[in-house]
């Protein structure tokens, strides 16, 4: 998925490379994914790519660190070849494609950390003119 036509050299330092920050995948702001977003009770096979992508989520669910040895994710030394998720996850996307602190940088959000739902656009500003977008100001979100 190409997210931006902006040349690489115009991105601020630290913005270009994205989650999961691994040279094998080499995901970045211009080339991200594919990313499967797991739901509760989904089961995945932990090949090398999936292990790199989902390791931190699995560690969070288990409550302790896992190791990665010989291209295999390990749980207390034993190979972890597949995994069933105990939570549903969400990809949170910001409104500034080229510089937004969202799931492209910190990963997927577990369902139990979502505390509400947006219901109102409080303020909307045109990034080019810095003028208010009055048609969107205080507009309800359906």
89 pLDDT higher than 60: yes
Residue 138 lies in a domain: no
- The answer as to whether 136 is a domain residue is no
Please write down the long-range contacts of 65-74, taking CB distance under 8 Å and 24 or more positions apart.
72/46, 72/48, 73/46
The tally of domains found in the chain comes to 1
Per-residue pLDDT tens digits for 28-56: 776 778 889 999 999 999 999 999 899 99
pTM for this predicted structure: 0.73
Give CA–CA dist 83/38, Å, rounded.
Answer: 11
Q: Cβ(105)–Cβ(19) under 8 Å?
A: yes
Q: What is the pLDDT of residues 105-139, one digit of tens each?
A: 788 999 999 998 888 888 888 888 989 999 888 89
Cα Dmax for the chain: 58
Q: Per the domain annotation, does 127 fall within a domain?
A: no
pLDDT at 7: 67
- 48 is a domain residue: yes
Range of the domain at 48: 3-114
Question: Is 84 a domain residue?
Answer: yes
137 part of a folded domain? no
Is residue 124 domain-resident? no
Residue 81 lies in a domain: yes
Ramachandran area for residue 136 (φ above 0: left; ψ -120 to 50: alpha; else beta): alpha
């Amino acid at each position: 998925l190409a997210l931006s036509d902006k040349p690489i050299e115009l991105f601020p330092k630290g913005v270009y490379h994205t989650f999961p920050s691994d040279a094998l995948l080499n995901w970045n702001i211009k080339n991200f994914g594919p990313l499967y977003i797991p739901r509760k009770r989904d089961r995945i096979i932990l090949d090398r790519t999936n292990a790199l992508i989902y390791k931190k989520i699995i560690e969070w669910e288990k409550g302790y660190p896992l190791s990665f040895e010989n291209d295999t994710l390990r749980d207390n030394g034993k190979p972890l070849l597949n995994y069933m998720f105990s939570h549903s996850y969400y990809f949170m996307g910001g409104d500034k494609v080229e510089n937004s602190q969202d799931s492209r940088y910190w990963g997927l959000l577990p369902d139990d950390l979502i505390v509400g739902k947006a219901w109102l656009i409080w303020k909307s500003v045109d990034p080019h003119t810095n003028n208010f977008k009055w048609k969107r100001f205080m507009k309800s979100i359906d």
